[in-house]
Amino acid sequence: MYAAFTELKHAQKVKQFLAKKNVLHPDYLPLKILDHLYFPLTKRIKVPSAKVALTKLKFPLKDSSITIEKLLEKKLTKHQLKFIPRAQEIVGQIMILEIPKELLKKEKIIAEAYLKLNKNITTVVKKNKIHSGTYRLRKLKILAGKRTKETIHYENKVRIKLHLEKTYFSARSGNERLRIAQQVKKGEQVLVLFSGAAPFPLVIAKNSSAKSILGIEINPLAHQYALENVKLNKMENKIIIHQGDVRAILPKIRKKFSRIAMPLPKSGEQFLDLALKKSKRGTIIHLYDFLHENEFKLQAKKIREICKHNKKPVRILRTVKCGQFSPGVFRVCFDLKVL
Ligand SMILES: C[S@@+](CC[C@H](N)C(=O)[O-])C[C@H]1O[C@@H](n2cnc3c(N)ncnc32)[C@H](O)[C@@H]1O
């Protein structure tokens, strides 16, 4: 069986990557040998921070090697079994499912089965409405387990407390947050616009030698969670979060930043002029968007024009795909350097 192996210190990052790529073998558990962790894979792929090789290791079978299909085989018809949803996302101890219309009447049974199967999960919810509105909130329905939508998610050495309906959060962006943190150089002053429950500020603070991180978030509840999270991670000496509209808060901040993250896909570019005012030569801006592959070039051109118009020309260092929504449509980050 193919396995990806890495030093223990990279294990979390590698696991997240493999989970995102959906290549972790469903029937076996990882194996620790000395200071390395071996992850069993369903196929060979390239894995950052890990080596991949064909091994003869005897990976331990998962607790029971019970699968969701086995748990449900007597409760669903053969036809229904084909539609069993996979976990869309796991945030803290909550599993989020997307129930196809063929299984709406069986959603509770399916959720109970997932609870039984996954010992780390205490609640199973389903997506009812996708992210929308200024606060980018979604609606979820609890199907099984503890009746809560609040949880503490662990990623990149930080704990993030949040409410799944009252704050925006995407566990899938964990690798992207780390990518940004790993670019931050010693002593940098970082600005995070649209900071939500503060995942970007926290991951940057914990995984870089930034001097300070300032976040701005309009949703008062997300802001409350952000304040709590800064304390929870003992980062009060590095992170400051302001509550309010970026348009109102940012002009009052008399400071320029070496790095500015703008995680508000779709409308982030509307704030680019404001962000540019807080930049100086060499500032790196991470601007997020949702785009079809065919639109990348045109959008890059538009961004360069906005920056030129604001007398802060930029070079686009890279265009990074950091999530996929549908065939050809990606969450994209443009890494810009102010010239
Ligand atoms: C896509 S979410 C990202 C949140 C967080 N950075 C994360 O990654 O989990 C965008 C956030 O921007 C906030 N937001 C939207 N418009 C804003 C504005 N004009 N000023 C400040 N925050 C804003 C929303 O409330 C939301 O929390």
CATH of the domain at 121: 3.30.300.110
The enclosing domain of 188 has a CATH number of 3.40.50.150
pTM here is 0.82
> Ligand 1 pocket, 207 CB below 6 A?
no
Residue 163 maps to a domain: no
Whether 186 and 327 map to the same domain: the answer is: yes
Residue 119 — pLDDT band, cuts 50, 70, 90?
confident
Mean pLDDT of 334-339: 98
Residue 37 within any structural domain of the chain: yes
Per-residue model confidence as pLDDT tens digits over 11-41: 999 999 999 999 999 878 899 888 899 999 9
Cα–Cα nearest to 204, from 296, 271, 284: 284
Domain that holds residue 233: 173-338
Ligand 1 atom 11 nearest Cα: 194
- 206 belongs to a structural domain: yes
Same domain, 113 and 217: no
Do 295 and 251 sit in the same domain of this protein? yes
- pLDDT tens readout for residues 165-198: 999 999 999 999 999 999 999 999 999 999 999 9
The total domain count for the chain is: 3
Each residue's pLDDT tens digit, 260-301: 999 999 888 999 999 999 999 999 999 999 999 999 999 999
CA of residue 264 to ligand 1 center, whole Å: 6
Which residues 6+ apart lie within 8 Å of 50 measured at CB? 4, 5, 6, 10, 14, 39
Nearest 5°: CA angle at 281, between 277 and 283?
A: 75
Q: Is 222 in the pocket of ligand 1 (CB under 6 A)?
A: yes
* 190 and 240 Cβ atoms separated by less than 8 Å: no
pLDDT bin (cut points 50, 70, 90) of residue 64 is: low
Which of 113, 148, 183 is the endpoint of a domain?
148
Reduced to 3 states (helix: H, G, I; strand: E, B; else coil), residue 300 is helix
From 153, 198, 157, 204, select the one nearest 176 (Cα to Cα).
204
Report the range of poorest mean pLDDT among 27-41, 137-151, 295-309: 27-41
